[in-house]
Amino acid sequence: MANVNYFTKSFMIETDIIIIGAGPCGLFTVFEAGLIKLRCHLIDTLPIPGGQCAEIYPKKPIYDIPGYPEVLAGELIDNLMKQIEPFKPGFTLGERAENIIKEEDGRFCVITNLGTKHVAPIICIAGGLGCFEPRKPPIENITSFEQRGVEYIIKDPAIYKDKKVVVAGGGDSALDWSIFLTDIAKEVSLVHRRTEFRGALDSVEKVNKLHVEGKIQLLTESEVIGLNGNGKLQSVLIKQKDGNITKDTDHFIPLFGLSPKLGPIAEWGLNIDKNAIEVDTFDYSTNVPGIYAIGDVNTYPGKLKLILCGFHEATLMVQSAYKRINPDKKLTLKYTTVNGVNGFD
């Protein structure tokens, strides 16, 4: 657990290093920081630690982690979590780091989209390719119907009670949510561009069964190409082989997976080049003193987007962070073989 202080108005999390992004580089930073007695707190938009490795390709083997001839991305994350356990990092998961404010005492305050405050003298941005956000279909006026009938994520299934719902997509989430919504909504339609669904076999069979029973309307070889309504979604325009049809609906839920966006990171006054943060390779510091960037999110001459390079960057970065926090202390390199790993109580 990170140090938690309760202030008069709202509580905030205090630590030595706020790490934005809980992918492999962010996680390993906790280890290297812990060895020199710095505490860390990680923030990630995803509900689980591991970043892309956990969310996008947990079952893919990685072959270039030194010492591992082959390791699954998900296993690497499990191992990193075990490796950093002694240093008891804090986690704010499922929240997006939104704003950075400089406190009067020189520390930074990182506030998430849900208002959680984190205060530390050092920020380490290990944000990878950015935040994973739902992929939005290229329908011209889709943004104007967001929160007015268009949802990319189902947060509160109760809002669909007795409503007409159109789900789009052909993967597991489109199938699973369509099945789930049949018990709640008045009418469920599933729109898919192709004839076959590529989700898990039992989900596909279940959808077909519900279709036969008249509980799900299946519109295959179809694509939602337009939205209509007056301040609120009223119908969708669906392109089919033989022409377009209009379908009345209260909700449109496009489920086309996630894609990374740099997001708020671009608004923090850091020097950005082609969606990456420019850093000094001496210590991976950004143009803002006290803010560092490591892993896929940074760029410098010769940069390679490899996990192993991110581990190296994390290691050098925490040394610099230590000197910033403790300008009068001398740091000597200690080997884990000699000193072991002494965690926090």
Partner 1 sequence: MADINITIVDREDVAHEIVVPTDMGLNLMELCKANELPVEGTCGGMALCSTCHVYVQTEHTLNEMTDDEEDMLDQAFFVEDNSRLGCQIPIEESLDGLVVKLAPTSN
Q: How many CB atoms lie within 10 A of CB 239?
A: 15
* Side-chain-facing half-sphere of 227: CA atoms under 13 Å: 24
Minimum CB separation from partner 1 for residue 138, in Å?
5
Contact indicator for 147, 253 with CB cutoff of 8 Å: no
Among 57, 99, 208, 326, binds partner 1 (CB under 8 A): 57
Q: Nearer to partner 1 by C-beta: 198 or 209?
A: 198
Among 106, 138, 231, 302, binds partner 1 (CB under 8 A): 138
Q: Nearer to partner 1 by C-beta: 36 or 125?
A: 125
Q: Nearer to partner 1 by C-beta: 47 or 257?
A: 257
Q: Is 257 in the site for partner 1 (CB under 8 A)?
A: yes
Q: Is 56 in the site for partner 1 (CB under 8 A)?
A: yes
Q: Which of residues 33-52 bind partner 1 (CB under 8 A)?
A: 52
Q: Is 259 in the site for partner 1 (CB under 8 A)?
A: yes
Of 24, 2, 6, residue with least CA distance to 15? 2
CA–CA gap between residue 124 and residue 326 (Å, rounded): 17
Minimum CB separation from partner 1 for residue 314, in Å?
20
- Who's near 280: CB < 8 A, 6+ residues apart? 300
CA–CA gap between residue 168 and residue 196 (Å, rounded): 13
Kindly determine how many residues on this chain lie close enough to bind partner 1 according to the rule CB under 8 A.
20
Which residue do the tokens 């999110």 mark? 297
Q: Is 193 in the site for partner 1 (CB under 8 A)?
A: yes
Q: Is 260 in the site for partner 1 (CB under 8 A)?
A: yes
Torsions phi, psi of 88, nearest 5? 40, 60
Q: Is 94 in the site for partner 1 (CB under 8 A)?
A: no
Stretch that binds partner 1, among 17-25, 129-137, 208-216, 284-292 (CB under 8 A): 129-137
Which residue do the tokens 């630690």 mark? 49
Stretch that binds partner 1, among 16-24, 56-64, 76-84, 283-291 (CB under 8 A): 56-64
CA–CA gap between residue 174 and residue 190 (Å, rounded): 8
CA–CA gap between residue 167 and residue 191 (Å, rounded): 6
Contact indicator for 286, 278 with CB cutoff of 8 Å: yes
Name the token pair of 297: 């999110």
Q: Is 20 in the site for partner 1 (CB under 8 A)?
A: no
Among 25, 129, 131, 175, binds partner 1 (CB under 8 A): 129
Among 81, 85, 113, 135, binds partner 1 (CB under 8 A): 135
Minimum CB separation from partner 1 for residue 29, in Å?
22
Torsions phi, psi of 290, nearest 5? 100, -15
Of 154, 190, 148, residue with least CA distance to 169? 190
Q: Is 60 in the site for partner 1 (CB under 8 A)?
A: yes
Please say whether the dihedral angle defined by the alpha carbons of residues 277, 2, 324 and 340, taken in this order, is positive or negative. Answer: negative
Minimum CB separation from partner 1 for residue 105, in Å?
39
Q: Is 334 in the site for partner 1 (CB under 8 A)?
A: no
Stretch that binds partner 1, among 21-29, 166-174, 235-243, 337-345 (CB under 8 A): 166-174
| b/e per residue 176-209 (b: at least 16 CB within 10 A) | bbbbebbeebebbbbbbeeeebebeeebbebbee
Give the rounded distance of the alpha carbon of 308 from its chain centre: 21
Minimum CB separation from partner 1 for residue 305, in Å?
7
Among 37, 102, 194, 232, binds partner 1 (CB under 8 A): 194
Q: Is 302 in the site for partner 1 (CB under 8 A)?
A: no
Minimum CB separation from partner 1 for residue 78, in Å?
20
Residues that bind partner 1 (CB under 8 A): 52, 56-57, 60, 129, 135-138, 169-171, 193-194, 198, 256-257, 259-260, 305
